[in-house]
């Protein structure tokens, strides 16, 4: 598929998924949050991860904050991304309380800035996704930050995308820069692709 066609299909799919997420009820959202948290805790425990990179979810994403709070309470080091103008991510451990609005209006932690290479020391990377195909190919929300980060890592720990159950699909449109993930975490399951 040529990249114009893939980009167009991605835009259409993202719009559909965003609308579906916005239409979830508060009850569905709360149940999804509980399931995501339980599965992220299980995954982190199964991998004996002592350090994880995660993200602060937006209001329409599965809620990662309960997991981040659990990890901190367990003494697990949690790195949170800070977007930069150059398309790279800085990282911070944050203070666990304060959030600010990042470059694109997305929630970001406030804390000491660690450079882009700080992520090289984690045991598990948890990233957002709009959809993930059955082959593990992840479609993000279109800014390319996580694709760039993962593509630049020499030795990458396991990478899991977090999404709602209906967002695990047969396939997603592929562009050259897209990076696959090792697994996906939904409210009802943990899926491994490799």
Q: What is the tens place of the pLDDT at every residue in 71-113?
A: 999 999 999 999 888 888 899 998 777 888 777 777 888 888 8
Domain span holding position 125:
3-192
pLDDT at residue 66 greater than cutoff 90: yes
DSSP for residue 143:
S
Best CA proximity match to 38, nearest among 160, 163, 186, 183: 186
Tell me how long the chain is. Answer: 194
Res 153: pLDDT: 82
Residues 110-169: tens digit of each pLDDT: 888 898 889 999 999 999 999 999 999 988 877 778 888 888 888 889 999 999 999 998
Computed over every residue of the chain, the mean pLDDT equals 89
Element (H, E) at 136: none
CATH number at residue 54: 3.40.50.10420
Q: Give the model's pLDDT for residue 42.
A: 98
**pLDDT score recorded for residue 55:** 92
What integer pLDDT is reported at residue 142 of this predicted model?
A: 72
Structural domains counted in the chain:
1
The encoded tokens of residue 39 equal: 């599965």
Mean pLDDT of 64-70: 95
Identify which of 176, 166, 81 has the alpha carbon closest to the alpha carbon of residue 131: 166
Please report the pLDDT score of residue 177 as a whole number. 75
Which pair of tokens denotes residue 60? 């329409």
């Amino acid at each position: 598929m040529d990249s114009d066609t893939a980009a167009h299909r991605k835009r259409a799919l993202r719009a559909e998924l965003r609308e579906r997420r916005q239409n979830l009820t508060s009850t569905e959202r709360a149940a999804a949050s509980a399931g995501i948290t339980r599965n992220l805790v299980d995954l982190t425990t199964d991998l004996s991860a002592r350090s994880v990179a995660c993200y602060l979810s937006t209001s329409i994403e599965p809620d990662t904050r309960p997991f981040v709070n659990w990890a901190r309470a367990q003494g697990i080091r949690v790195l949170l991304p800070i977007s930069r103008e150059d398309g790279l991510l800085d990282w911070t451990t944050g203070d666990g309380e304060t959030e600010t609005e990042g470059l694109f209006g997305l929630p970001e932690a406030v804390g000491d800035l660690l450079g882009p290479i700080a992520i090289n020391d984690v045991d598990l990377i948890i990233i957002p996704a709009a959809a993930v195909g059955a082959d593990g190919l992840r479609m993000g929300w279109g800014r390319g930050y996580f694709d760039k980060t993962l593509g630049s890592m020499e030795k990458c720990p396991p990478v899991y995308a977090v999404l709602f159950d209906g967002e695990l699909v047969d396939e997603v449109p592929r562009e050259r820069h897209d990076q696959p993930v090792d697994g996906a975490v939904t409210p009802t399951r943990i899926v491994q692709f490799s």
